[in-house]
């Protein structure tokens, strides 16, 4: 976290064990999203019995992540039989973990670009007697390739107009393909 945990207790006397539980559960949140900016936790006893004992607990967790805040509020009152602040803290953090997991999953799906693999090109020129050729790329460039860059030693099987995948590097005289892999019909690789 970039900003330290903000922890507040209201109408309840915090114990070292209670604080340790909150800090442990905040650390666990980092497993679900490494980009957490800060976390604010408040634990309070909003309900009191006739002899002024806490009979319920409210736990509010605010987790700030880039571009959004995740907020969980759990009110465990005497109607739910929840007199234990530790149980209220665990319940709230379980809900926060669930929301954070869901949020992180959505972020991964929206950020992950489609993996198209190596770029495609078409063999435009072949000089078989000199062991090289040229590829025409989809962006209009011409890329040199040598016999040795064709995988599985199938340079002699290539034909002008054949679609290939390739990986490119900058050579001494311009761009060149370091690997050339022919693609069969309908995008299937030839099995050699």
pLDDT tens track for 16-70: 999 999 999 999 998 888 888 899 999 998 765 555 555 678 999 999 988 788 9
Mean pLDDT of 140-155: 89
Mean pLDDT of 78-102: 82
Q: Of the spans 22-26, 102-106, 140-144, 151-155, which averages the highest pLDDT? A: 22-26
Q: Alpha-carbon distance 66 to 110, whole Å?
A: 14
Mean pLDDT of 112-122: 66
Strands 68-76, 57-65: parallel, antiparallel or unpaired by DSSP? antiparallel
Mean pLDDT of 77-84: 58
Q: How far is CA 120 from the centre of its chain?
A: 27
Tell me the whole-structure pTM to 2 decimals: 0.54
Q: In this predicted structure, which of 41-50, 72-81, 177-186 has the lowest mean pLDDT?
A: 72-81
Q: What share of the chain is helix, strand, coil (3-state, %, to 5)?
A: 30, 40, 30
- % of the chain at pLDDT higher than 90: 38
Sheet holding 6-10, edge to edge: 6-10, 38-44, 57-65, 68-76
Domains of the chain and any CATH numbers: 6-111 (3.30.160.100), 120-185 (2.40.50.140)
Mean pLDDT of the chain: 82
Q: Where are the beta strands (DSSP E) in 90-129?
A: 120-127
> Using an 8 Å Cβ cutoff, are 139 and 122 in contact?
no
């Amino acid at each position: 976290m970039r900003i330290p945990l903000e922890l507040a207790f209201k109408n309840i006397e915090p114990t070292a064990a209670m604080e340790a539980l909150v800090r442990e559960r905040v650390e666990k949140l980092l497993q679900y999203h490494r980009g957490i900016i800060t976390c604010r936790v408040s634990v309070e006893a909003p309900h009191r019995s006739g002899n002024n004992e806490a009979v319920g607990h409210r736990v509010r967790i605010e987790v700030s992540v880039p571009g959004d805040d995740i907020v969980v509020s759990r009110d465990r009152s005497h109607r739910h039989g929840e007199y234990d602040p530790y149980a209220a803290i665990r319940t709230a953090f379980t809900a926060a973990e669930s929301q954070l997991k869901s949020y992180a999953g959505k972020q991964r799906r929206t950020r992950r670009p489609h993996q198209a693999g190596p770029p495609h090109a078409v063999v435009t020129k072949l000089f078989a007697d000199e062991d090289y050729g040229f590829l025409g790329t989809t962006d209009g460039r011409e890329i040199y390739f040598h016999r040795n860059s064709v995988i599985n030693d199938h340079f002699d099987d290539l034909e002008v107009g054949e679609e290939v995948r390739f990986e490119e590097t900058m050579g001494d005289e311009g761009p060149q393909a370091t690997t050339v892999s022919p693609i069969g019909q309908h995008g299937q690789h030839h099995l050699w």
